[in-house]
Amino acid sequence: MEELAHEHIEHAEHAQHAVHAGDNFMVKVSATIAVLAVAAAVIASLETIETGQAISEKNEAVLLQAQASDQWAYYQAKSIKQHLYDIAAGTSSERAGDYRKQAARYEQQTHELQKKAEELEHKRDEKLAASNKHEEKHHGLTLAATLVHIGIAVATIAIIAKGQKWPWYAAIALGVVGAGKAAFSYLA
């Protein structure tokens, strides 16, 4: 949930008007809005970082999958050649020894290719798991940013409804819950 640059300026203008009005409560509410706006900006930055990391990990997983697929295709080609030499060794008595050697060489190569393909698939699975973890963090940070933005809106109600303290308390509570959710999501 990305805020536009002018939204932070608007929050600062509300704070400036409250300071000029000389109302101590309004100064506190405006300061709360400013703090919540900074928290929202930080959370939005963390959210963007997690999104980028999730995409990056997923891209790496796709590349690893392509490499694994290439290895499996190469494995299949070598396996077919191995089987052809096995068949040839069984049908030709003159060159049976040569054919068996070729079949053994291809069998060794297929084992190496299989091992490499499985390693690439394992790395792919690790990248997908890492991507999912970043996506989970992103979702938690999105909720946190939303709570802080709601807190900003509720704090603004305290300015509009002069003298009403419950919106300010609610805004503080939303900000604390949002910041806590952000910390929990990011550090998890």
CA distance 32 to 18: 12
- Please spell the DSSP secondary structure of 102-148, one letter per residue: HHHHHHHHHHHHHHHHHHHHHHHHHHHHHHHHHHHHHHHHHHHHHHH
Q: Which residue has the higher pLDDT, 10 or 117?
A: 117
Give residue 19's pLDDT band: very low, low, confident or very high (50, 70, 90).
Answer: low
Residue 1: pLDDT over 50: no
Q: Compute the half-sphere exposure of residue 52: CA atoms within 13 Å on the CB side of its CA.
A: 6
Residue 16: pLDDT over 90: no
CA triple 32-188-178, angle to 5 deg: 20
CA triple 42-47-50, angle to 5 deg: 130
Angle, in degrees to the nearest 10, between helices 5-21 and 96-160: 20
Q: What is the pLDDT of residues 116-130, one digit of tens each?
A: 999 999 999 999 999
pLDDT at 2: 53
Neighbours of 123 (CB within 10 A): 17
Token pair 């997923």 is found at 58
